[in-house]
Amino acid sequence: MGDQGVCSLPPMSALNAIRQAGLYGRTVARVAPRGFRERGGDPALATERIVFVAGSPRSGTTFLAGAVGSQPGFVDLGEVRPVKASIERWTSLPEAEAAAELRSTLERVRRLSFVRDLRPVEQTPELSFVVGAAVRAYPQATVLHIIRDGRDVVCSLLEQGWLREREGRDDVGQPYGSYHRSWVEPGRRDEFIRAREATRAAWAWRRYLTAARAAPEHTLEFRYEEIAADPAAVA
């Protein structure tokens, strides 16, 4: 699927356009320096062989993506904020539409960051919920699914406090607290809101883990505990 076949993103209000520009700007500012330092190979080949790192938050997605992205010819895109901000809407779209928008978003980031000849590594944990769309957008993609002991993930999520009742929003403007996320089963949303914070954290770990396994033919699984001691060997 070349750039010619990618649909344009949907029309945006002026306020939303400004917000999107900010999301792209922060992502590009982080990624572009690598593009200026290193040149890769065939841009078309690099595009199609994207690597998606999936898994729940606090499972080691940043660790694994950093290890792979530091290798020659690769670039770690980090958590691509325009992708993260769009996941909830993409989960409600037909897979083909979500795939087209995902590809359009990532190719825009790569173009603006001058890294189109480097093989991209995308590590937004929420992308676990659109893995099917991701491999539809990039049929030659590899999904690296990192799994960490659920007890450790829950403890780490509790330390972060993202699911706690408190003021504030995350890096793409989504509020903290117990409100139901898009990944909560429709019939269990009231249950999620009433649940204790530790229960919500365990719920998140399980839902991310299950969702990330949606494309087994494209996926390699790693245990965080087995690779943490030697990231270079993993890469």
Higher pLDDT, 181 or 11: 181
pLDDT(220) > 70: yes
The model's confidence at residue 67, banded by pLDDT at 50, 70 and 90, is very high
| 134 in Cβ contact with 211 (< 8 Å) | no
* Longest CA–CA separation in the chain, Å: 52
Is 30 or 200 the better-scoring residue by pLDDT?
200
What does the domain layout of the chain look like in residue ranges?
A: 12-152+219-234
CA 205 to CA 58: how far, in whole Å? 9
CA 55 from chain center: how many Å?
A: 9
Write the DSSP assignment of 65-132 as a string of letters.
HHHHHTSTTEEEEES-HHHHHHHHHHTTS-HHHHHHHHHHHHHHHHHHTT-TTSEEEE--GGGGGGHH
Distance of alpha carbon 156 from alpha carbon 150, whole angstroms: 10
Q: For residue range 95-117, what is the model confidence (pLDDT) as tens digits?
A: 999 999 999 999 999 988 888 88
Query: What value does the mean pLDDT of the chain take?
Result: 85
The helix (H) or strand (E) run that includes residue 234 is helix 231-234
Percentage of the chain modeled with pLDDT above 70:
79
Q: How confident is the model over 169-181, as pLDDT tens digits?
A: 665 566 666 666 7
pLDDT of residue 30: 80
Please check whether residue 122 is in contact with residue 77, taking contact to mean a CB–CB distance below 8 angstroms: yes
pLDDT score recorded for residue 3: 47
More confidently predicted of 26 and 168: 26
Q: Does the structure show a pLDDT above 80 at 8?
A: no
What is the pTM (predicted TM-score) of this model? 0.83
Average pLDDT for 48-55: 96
State mean pLDDT over 165-172.
Answer: 63
